[in-house]
């Protein structure tokens, strides 16, 4: 039985006006019942996209007929994870991963300059992304999940989404929208559990690291 000595919340808070990928649904929070108005309880109605804030991409996001989120093994979302400090790079390419300690079956979380972008107003187009040759390294090393600290692993403006398709086509899981500002490089235990929705291509999640 594991005893966590410290826990880091690496999720971003979901709220109206938060960063959202252009074209995606934005979050709306409406109070439909309120104790202050004489109702017996408070009740909130939420409207949001499946890829809001910190979220998980299932293969079905880009692979027609691919696995939906409920069909993915839980050990892709919960288990040993390694955080790589890759700050100072415009892109994560194969060279950036060449000397990293990547083990078969790892969950890999990439800390980049993106984690500082959450402090800016509005969506930031110049985020650090993952290149296709880096995706090939991850596939060759047998990585099962990749996480990045902004709303997409793909270069902004991509028309092919080749990196998503390469990783999801191998039944890897992708976690996007992390904030790794407070976390140092190293090995941790990750819990990143999305909502248990059936037949969906992704869902928001609460992600925490433990050590």
Domain ranges of the chain: 7-13+50-210
Average pLDDT value for residue range 34-57: 98
Mean pLDDT of 169-193: 98
According to the model, what pLDDT value does residue 4 have? 59
Other beta carbons within 10 Å of 3? 5
Mean pLDDT of 57-86: 98
The predicted structure's pLDDT at residue 5: 86
DSSP state of 94: H
What is the average pLDDT across 147-154?
Answer: 98
Helix (H) or strand (E) holding 85: strand 78-85
The Cβ of residue 6 has, within 10 Å, a number of other Cβ atoms equal to: 8
The mean pLDDT of 56-85, rounded to a whole number, is: 98
* Residue 142 reports pLDDT greater than 70: yes
Give the long-range contacts of residues 192-199, CB within 8 A, separation 24 or more.
192/54, 192/56, 192/77, 192/78, 192/147, 193/77, 193/78, 194/55, 194/56, 194/69, 194/77, 196/70, 197/50, 197/69, 197/70, 198/68, 198/70, 199/68, 199/70
* Mean pLDDT calculated for residue range 38-65: 98
Known catalytic residues? Answer: 61
Prediction pTM value: 0.96
Question: Residue 84's pLDDT is what?
Answer: 98
- Is the Cβ–Cβ distance between 27 and 16 less than 8 Å? yes
Query: 7-13+50-210 in CATH: which number?
Result: 3.50.30.50
Mean pLDDT of the 180-203 span: 97
Q: What is the predicted pLDDT for the residue at 112?
A: 98
**pLDDT score at 3:** 67
Question: pLDDT tens-digit profile of 11-40?
Answer: 999 999 999 999 999 999 999 999 999 999
Given this model, what pLDDT does residue 186 score? 98
% pLDDT > 70, the chain: 98
pLDDT in tens, 105-126: 999 999 999 999 999 999 999 9
3-state secondary structure 17-33: CCCCCCCCCCCEEEEEE
What is the mean pLDDT of the segment spanning 40-45? 98
Q: What is the DSSP string of 31-84?
A: EEE-GGGT-SS-EEEEE--TT-SSEEE-GGGTSTTPPPGGGS-GGGTEEEEEEE
pLDDT at 61: 98
Mean pLDDT of the chain: 97
Q: What is the pLDDT of residue 2?
A: 57
Distance CA 181, CA 112 (A): 9
- Return the structure tokens found at 63: 């692979």
Question: For residues 92 and 131, is the Cβ–Cβ distance under 8 A?
Answer: yes
């Amino acid at each position: 039985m594991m005893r966590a000595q410290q826990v880091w919340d690496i999720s971003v808070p979901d709220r109206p006006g938060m960063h959202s990928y252009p074209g995606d649904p934005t979050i709306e929070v409406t109070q439909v019942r309120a104790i202050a108005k004489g109702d017996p309880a408070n009740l909130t109605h939420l409207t949001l996209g499946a890829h809001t804030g910190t979220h998980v991409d299932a293969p079905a996001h880009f692979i027609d007929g691919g696995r939906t989120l409920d069909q993915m093994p839980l050990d892709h979302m919960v288990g040993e994870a390694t955080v790589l400090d890759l700050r100072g790079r415009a892109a994560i390419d194969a060279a950036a991963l060449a000397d990293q300690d990547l083990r078969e079956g790892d969950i890999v979380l990439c800390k980049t300059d993106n984690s500082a972008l959450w402090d800016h107003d509005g969506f930031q187009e110049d985020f650090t992304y993952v290149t296709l040759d880096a995706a090939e390294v991850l596939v060759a090393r047998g990585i099962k999940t990749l996480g990045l600290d902004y709303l997409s692993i793909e270069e902004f403006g991509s028309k092919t989404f080749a990196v998503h398709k390469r990783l999801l086509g191998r039944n890897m899981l992708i976690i996007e929208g992390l904030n790794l500002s407070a976390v140092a490089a190293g090995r941790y235990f990750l819990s990143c559990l999305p909502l248990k929705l059936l037949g969906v291509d992704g869902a928001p999640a609460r992600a925490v690291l433990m050590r």
